Each structure stands twice: as structure tokens, then as C-alpha cells.
């Protein structure tokens, strides 16, 4: 990397943060891809000011072969390069975006996994709320809330005490890209949360009396995502259920749609910017319906006629 390239990358990251307002995780991914791209151009004696779509395609093929890049990752890489060249255009470094001439690969539809409401009940039931440490009560409240509000793990870990409005039974959530939303809290989650806040959290807090994070560990510090994943995996093993924490979010969405909720409402509750992301859940439910149809309907089997 030359000094010019390093400076360009720093400007690009500032552009993503300030102009595009994307999340730190996306900035890291896009900047890393831009760095690989610039290194490749240096090897080919090409310049970003004049590089054409053919060279960009050669880079993508090179990445695909060298790193065994999957289709979905390839599509993300094209998006990253398009973003980088848009930055070059906005910075008046070049007049056009050659990535616009490339065709995005069609990515296979990955249907989100969900479990039944009975399975969720079974999972929550194995959590020992009589544990003297109070960790069972904390975990019960945490996973009740995750399912009740369709939360991401990162959102659960970053919740503050002030985010829960007990009187209104609503939760203030800051999601991806710092997008804010308000989500109703169900009866079971509200009850479990109240028990945790009143009876357990003060003991976990210990000397950390100024800690504002909602869910705390043994030493009064905020929970990490790794610990939440670990605890959830243990409970899944006890309940005999194959699931991840994110499965609760998927189940939240699927159960709402099956209950008759409209897609726009579910989109708002999940914090999706694009309704097409939410529509994936309708595909998942269609797959479930087809499976039931094939299993139980006389016309469901191919050889039934």
C-alpha cells in the first residue's frame, strides 16, 4: 500500500461514517474489500481513476478462486466495490462508476429458521429460576424479552435500564445503523423482567452502582454476546432443541405473520430498513405450508394420482 492509497482508504472510511452513516461493522467490511482491491490494482499497474469494469471483473474472479468466495459473499463484494467507486465519484476523483456495468450474481434464498411456540415454551421452561445465584431468573427474563420483542443478540446486550418503559410496557431498541424503534413487551416477558430488575439485578450490580446496562453478569458488568450464545446453547441442549439465539427473532416474526400481522408492522417491529428482508419470512411460512401439504394431503405425494 502506498501513502496515497492509505490516505484514500481513511477518507473512504470517513465518507462511510459521515456521509453514508453505515454501521462500524459495515465500514470494516467495505474498507477491507477496498484495500484488497487497491492492492490488486497496484499489482496490475492499474489506477482507480481510470480502471474499467473488465479489470474489476477480473479482480472479482481472482477473489472467488483464491478465497473460495460464495455467491452471497460475491454479491456483497460487488456492493462494497460499488460503494467505493461511488465515493470516488462523489469525491470527484473520477466521473463514472464502472461497477454499475457489472451484473449482481443471484444469491440463493436462505430461509430463516424458526421454532414453534411450544418449542419456545419448552426452551424457557428448562431455565432454573430457583438457582440461588439469580442467573436463571436473569436468563429467563433475557430470553423471554428476546422472543417477545424479536431482538438481535447485539440489541439485547446493549439495552439500558432506561430503555424499558414499565408503565407503557414498551422497549426502546437501537438496532443496526443506529436505527431506533419502540417494541411492545408481552405479559410473560414483562413479568419475568420485573422479577429480574427488582430481585436479581441489584445483587449482580454489586459495587457497580452506576452501571446502566440492563442485563449484567456475575461481576456487575454488561453481558457479552459470546456469553449469551453460550447460555442459550446450554439451554437448547437441556431442552433437546436445535436453535440459535437468533432463532427467537425469526420465530417472533414467523409467529406474528401466521397470526395475521401485516408485513409492514412486522417490518417496523424487526427494525428492517427494506421490506424485502421481512418478506423472506413469508417465503419461510410458504415452505412450511408446502411441507404440511405434501405430508398430509392426498394430492401432496407425486405418485398419488
In order of 58, 211, 213, 223, the CA distances from 160 in angstroms are: 47, 9, 4, 12
Q: How many whole angstroms separate alpha carbon 33 and alpha carbon 18?
A: 19
The grid coordinates of residue 125 equal 421452561
Q: How many whole angstroms separate alpha carbon 17 and alpha carbon 23?
A: 7
Say which of 62, 94, 225, 246 is annotated catalytic.
246
CA 195 to chain centre: 28
Say which of 36, 201, 249, 255 is annotated catalytic.
249
Based on the residue annotation, tell me whether 231 is a catalytic residue of this protein.
no
Say which of 36, 250, 255, 272 is annotated catalytic.
272
Based on the residue annotation, tell me whether 281 is a catalytic residue of this protein.
yes
Based on the residue annotation, tell me whether 176 is a catalytic residue of this protein.
yes
DSSP 165-214: ETTTTEEEEE-GGG-EEEEE--HHHHHHHHHIIIIIHHHHHTT-TT--BS
Say which of 20, 169, 176, 225 is annotated catalytic.
176
Three-state DSSP at 160 gives strand
Q: Residue 164: enclosing H or E segment and its boundaries?
A: strand 164-165
Return the ∠ at Cα 239 (arms to 234 and 240), rounded to 5°.
95
Grid cell 433437546 is found at 240
Say which of 63, 82, 85, 152 is annotated catalytic.
152
Q: What are the residue numbers of the active site?
A: 152, 176, 246, 249, 272, 281
Amino acid at each position: 500500500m502506498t501513502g496515497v492509497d492509505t490516505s484514500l482508504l481513511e477518507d473512504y472510511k470517513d465518507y462511510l461514517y459521515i456521509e453514508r452513516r453505515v454501521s462500524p461493522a459495515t465500514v470494516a467490511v467495505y474498507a477491507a474489500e477496498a484495500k484488497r482491491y487497491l492492492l490488486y490494482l497496484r499489482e496490475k499497474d492499474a489506477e482507480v481513476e481510470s480502471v474499467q469494469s473488465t479489470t474489476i471483473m477480473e479482480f472479482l474472479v481472482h477473489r472467488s478462486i483464491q478465497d473460495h468466495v460464495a455467491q452471497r459473499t460475491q454479491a456483497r463484494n460487488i456492493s462494497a466495490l460499488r460503494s467505493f467507486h461511488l465515493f470516488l465519484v462523489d469525491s470527484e476523483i473520477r466521473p463514472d462508476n464502472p461497477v454499475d456495468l457489472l451484473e449482481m450474481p443471484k444469491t440463493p434464498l436462505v430461509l430463516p429458521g424458526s421454532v414453534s411456540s411450544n418449542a419456545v415454551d419448552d426452551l424457557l421452561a428448562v431455565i432454573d429460576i430457583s438457582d440461588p445465584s439469580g442467573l436463571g431468573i436473569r436468563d429467563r427474563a433475557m430470553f423471554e424479552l428476546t422472543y417477545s420483542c424479536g431482538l438481535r443478540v447485539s440489541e439485547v446486550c446493549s439495552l439500558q435500564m432506561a430503555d424499558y418503559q414499565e408503565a407503557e410496557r414498551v422497549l426502546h431498541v437501537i438496532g443496526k445503523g443506529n436505527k431506533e424503534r419502540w417494541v411492545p413487551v408481552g405479559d410473560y416477558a414483562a413479568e419475568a423482567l420485573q422479577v429480574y430488575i427488582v430481585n436479581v439485578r441489584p445483587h449482580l450490580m454489586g459495587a457497580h452502582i452506576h452501571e446502566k446496562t440492563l442485563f449484567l453478569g456475575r461481576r456487575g458488568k454488561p453481558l457479552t454476546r459470546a456469553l449469551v450464545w453460550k447460555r442459550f446453547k446450554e439451554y437448547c441442549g437441556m431442552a433437546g432443541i436445535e436453535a440459535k439465539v437468533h432463532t427467537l427473532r425469526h420465530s417472533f416474526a414467523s409467529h406474528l405473520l401466521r397470526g395475521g400481522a401485516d408485513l409492514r408492522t412486522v417490518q417496523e417491529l424487526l427494525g428492517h430498513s427494506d421490506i424485502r428482508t421481512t418478506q423472506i419470512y413469508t417465503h419461510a411460512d410458504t415452505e412450511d405450508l408446502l411441507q404440511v401439504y405434501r405430508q398430509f394431503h392426498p394430492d401432496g405425494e407425486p405418485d398419488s394420482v
